[in-house]
Amino acid sequence: MAKNKFQDGPGPSQRQLRVGELIRRTLSEVLMRGDIHDPDLNRYSVTVGEVRTSPDLKIATAYVLPLGGKGQDEIVGLLARNQGELRRIIGQKLALKFAPELRFRLDETFDKMDEARRLFEKDDVRRDTED
Span 10-20, mean pLDDT? 90
User: Which CATH number does 14-129 carry?
Assistant: 3.30.300.20
Span 1-27, mean pLDDT? 78
Higher pLDDT pick, 116 / 73: 73
Q: Which pLDDT tens digit goes with each residue over 79-125? A: 999 999 999 999 999 988 889 999 999 988 765 555 566 666 667 76
DSSP string, the chain: ----TTTSSS---HHHHHHHHHHHHHHHHHHHHT-SS-HHHHTS-EEEEEEEE-TTSSEEEEEEEEGGGTTHHHHHHHHHHTHHHHHHHHHHHH--SSPPEEEEEE--HHHHHHHHHHHHHSHHHHHHH--
In Å, how far from its chain's centre is CA 2? 29
- Residues with Cβ within 8 Å of residue 50, at least 6 apart in sequence: 20, 24, 62, 63, 107, 109
Instruction: Give the Cα separation of 44 and 60 in Å (integer).
Output: 21
Residue 43: pLDDT over 60: yes
Q: Which pLDDT tens digit goes with each residue over 49-67? A: 999 999 999 999 999 999 8
Residue 14: pLDDT over 60: yes
Instruction: Give the Cα separation of 23 and 49 in Å (integer).
Output: 11
Nearest CA-CA partner of 73 in 106, 41, 40: 106
